[in-house]
Amino acid sequence: MKPHLFISSLALAAAAGAASAQEACSTYEIQRGDSLRELTIEVYSTEDFRIIFDANRDVIGNNPNIIRVGDVLTLPCLEEIGRAPDVPQTEAEAMAAEMAAELVAAAEKRAAKAIADAEARVAEAEAKKASEDAVVAAKAAARDEIEAARAEGAALIRNADGGERPGIRDRQLLLITGGNYAPFTDEALPHRGLYTNLVETAMLRAAPEQAYKIQFVNDWSSHLDLLMPTLAFDGTFPWSRPNCEAPEALSEKDRARCETYNFSNPFYEVVDTFFAREGSGYEQTLTYADFAGTTICRPEGWSLSHMDAVGLYEPAITLLRPVSPDDCFHAVMDGTADIVAIEAHLAVGAISRLGYEHRILENPNLAAIKSLNVMTHKDNPDGEAILETLNQGLAIMQQSGEWRDIVSDALRHQMENG
């Protein structure tokens, strides 16, 4: 029997030989260092590796995490996977076409950068190749071993006590998120953001055979106002869960969120706090009562539950709700708003990017810890099964230590790159 080298299909290519110049409607033999994700980017200009996985289950098996050198994969035609260009007939189709174009452009940009970086390192890599081959091989083997162990552990945990994952209809799931929310979700971030990586990994661990796609629509309010209520998407993330057990203390929108959506277990927790201009006094006040009469800016679509709980609602304060978080910081600087109520991670990055460092400061005394969850609409017949699958995957990641690794890598990237 010919020995096979097993490769992590989701990791970046570890050595030379990655797929290049491949086309749809053809076949491809797996080489050392290949990955399904990189091959899918090369052929289809998207990171959705399940395009190739679903067409080659008989070759790959039920675990897309493992591919074998020498296996020959079928690369489906564009028409077969629904990616052939069509003329939009409706507004919804036009929106979908625009979103697809954005995804392709982002993927092409990432691929072009990867190629440029690789070419820039050719000379140095060639000089060191002989001495580094053993190190590369050892690292690749270690990654493969860890990935295989995690996949095996995921199966054991998934099947523990005879429990089975709830059934989801045999179809591709569509999840939606948005950008400009570093380090959690943005197409320019590694793995398209910390939270996106957590969701994808949870799905892989709990249900490797389940087809899904994650799309980005940066108009966050449209997720809840249009796209989820019409069941155009199966789930959206990341959203905070209001205190649904005390509806009398919630705003109308937060009560509606509790009544309309189901929530996953928390994948991550954030600190929601307040920022104000230096010298205003609001950056150092000790009580929420001191905010009475102010104008507080919070981006549209963001939950008001933590503000409602401490009495920060109209008419006690004036609420400003622009679409972009950046608009809130501009409003504080031009005097349109007194305070920005926002998540701390996002705020630090935005303040630095906008050049407002040392001019807009965080109030360290008034903050609330909030969870970030995946939401499904209660009218979706697969909604609860989707959440249970994600919860199962999250539990596997937390037990194996993979959750901690993903979070650490993402936060380190944020600190190093701003």
**Which token pair is 33?**
């260092």
Which CATH number does 268-371 carry?
3.40.190.10
- CATH class of the structural domain 172-266+377-417: alpha beta
Q: Which amino acid is at 97?
A: A
Q: In the prediction, which pLDDT does 124 show?
A: 61
Q: For the whole prediction, is pTM greater than 0.85?
A: no
Mean pLDDT of each 10-residue bin along the chain, 418 residues long:
39 37 85 82 78 87 78 86 55 58 59 61 60 61 60 57 57 89 89 94 90 88 87 92 85 88 94 93 93 93 79 92 91 96 86 92 88 94 94 91 88 76
Name the phi and psi angles at 212, rounded to 5.
Answer: -155, 165
268-371 has the same fold as 172-266+377-417:
yes
Closest alpha carbon to 326 in 179, 114, 185: 179
Q: In the prediction, which pLDDT does 61 show?
A: 80
Q: Which amino acid is at 239?
A: W
Question: Domain boundaries in the chain?
Answer: 6-120, 172-266+377-417, 268-371
